Amino acid sequence: TGERAIDIRSLLRETGLITLDSGFMNTGSCQSQITYLDGEQGILRYRGYDIADLAARCQFIEVAYLLLNGELPNAEELLQFRNDMTRYALLHEDMIHFFDHFPPNASPMSILSTMVGTLHDFYPEMDLDEDPYGGITTTTARLLSKIRTIAAFSYKKNMGQPLVYPRADLSYCANFLHMIFDRPNIPYEIDPVMVSALNKLLILHADHEQNCSTSTVRLVGSSGVRLYPSISAGISALWGPLHGGANAAVMRMLEKIEADGRNYDKYLEMAKDPEGSFRLSGFGHRVYKTYDPRAAIIKQACHDVLGSLKIADPLLEVALELEARVSGDDYFRERNLYPNVDFYSGIIYRAIGIPTNMFTVMFALGRLPGWIAHWQEMNLDKDSSRIGRPRQVYTGIVSRPFTELEER
Ligand code: ACO
């Protein structure tokens, strides 16, 4: 019924009917005041603010504050939040030993999900109303700050390099770049172009209403699980190539197309084959039936960032040409398949020097404020916090007599 949401619970309870909606194509699981998304018009707003304004004019932590609090911070609130990001950046020394015991080349995503779950054991999780300022509790501030350190350490572990500790004088994004790129005897010069590009990407990933990972955070949290393990589950949900893992899949696909002599037709035909399983990564979206507004901003940012850094990346050419071929093809047009947030983001990460296996970790860093905001909203709303428990339509054998072992 389009935009109209109908509460049919009592009807279903009375009649015993079940709505079967695999993939939750048209099932609303909650009411929310965090993010407005119009997939027909390509509009995305956090708490009413257009994503383009926020990406152009805010720092990532301002947007995190907005998502958690409902309002942008004033200067004093922002300073307090920034101080908290500095205060909580270090990890308990015992946690640091964990990094030594992952196998060599462990995936940064599995490290991230494990270590975020482990925070629950190292830092007591407080109740929602424990000493909050503007919706920020010690629990949420700790997580927002420590996830950045964990993400950076997972990179160092993967690279086999010594860990680099956070600095108190750097902004959220600059500190992250310092922790991943600084090396003993090879100090890293923080480049404002890269800081600003990272800031923009994190803002554009900060929330996207009831996507797979956010719904996972809500569903896991609905059983009464605390914040840190709920977020750990969200990180795992994000990992898949149909969701946040698509940014890494895009890069591998573009590299393959390039290595294949830019044979675009071959990849388009593979993607269109109804018998095949290949999809063009970074195209299509469940909700957008038009160009993803985040992709439009990131595409422009690709040109700006690569231009400022004087980088000529052949993969940007491949991506632009692939998009042009897709937009001229009836198959993709009829199905409303446009670039999504993951299509161009990897080219910027690559320009910054972040390797492909960290791309989905970067997505998780950006998405964290949204996950927390949804977990908090769910816990404060009695109706939404009812335990999530979908029904099913059973299609197996309903009843049969038991067969003893010797007769089977
Ligand atoms: N390449 C080729 N065909 C596609 C693609 C694609 N990327 N995406 C969808 N289609 C086709 C499907 O084959 C289907 O065709 P059919 O009607 O002939 O069977 C039709 O478009 C509809 O696709 P669905 O799978 O039903 O759409 P759904 O909403 O379930 O899936 C999804 C959305 C998962 C994003 C899908 O478009 C996809 O797999 N894209 C590639 C992976 C990707 O980029 N994921 C990131 C999404 S953004 C995010 O999560 C952060």
Whose structure tokens read 């860093």?
365
User: 271 CB under 6 A from ligand 1?
Assistant: yes
Specify the amino acid at residue 130.
E
Task: Identify the residue whose C-alpha is closest to ligand 1 atom 21.
Answer: 335
3-state secondary structure of 152: helix
3-state secondary structure of 283: strand
Task: Identify the residue whose C-alpha is closest to ligand 1 atom 9.
Answer: 284
- C-alpha of residue 112 to centroid of ligand 1, in Å: 27
Q: What is the pLDDT of residues 208-251, one digit of tens each?
A: 999 999 999 999 999 999 999 999 999 999 999 999 999 999 99
Please identify every stretch of the chain with a pLDDT value under 70, giving residue numbers as ranges: 1-8, 127-132
Contact 215, 30 (CB under 8 A): no
Contact 114, 235 (CB under 8 A): no
- C-alpha of residue 147 to centroid of ligand 1, in Å: 30
- What is the pLDDT, as a whole number, of residue 296? 97
- Give the tokens for residue 117: 């779950």
User: 286 CB under 6 A from ligand 1?
Assistant: yes
User: 213 CB under 6 A from ligand 1?
Assistant: no
Chain-centroid distance of CA 119 in Å reads 19
pTM: 0.95
**Edge-to-edge order in the sheet of strand 49-50:** 35-38, 43-46, 49-50
- What is the pLDDT, as a whole number, of residue 280? 97
- What is the pLDDT, as a whole number, of residue 158? 87
- Give the tokens for residue 343: 């299509």
Q: Are strands 35-38 and 43-46 parallel, antiparallel or unpaired?
A: antiparallel
Contact 226, 125 (CB under 8 A): yes
ipTM for the whole predicted complex goes beyond 0.95: yes
Handedness of CA 198, 123, 369, 108 (dihedral sign): positive
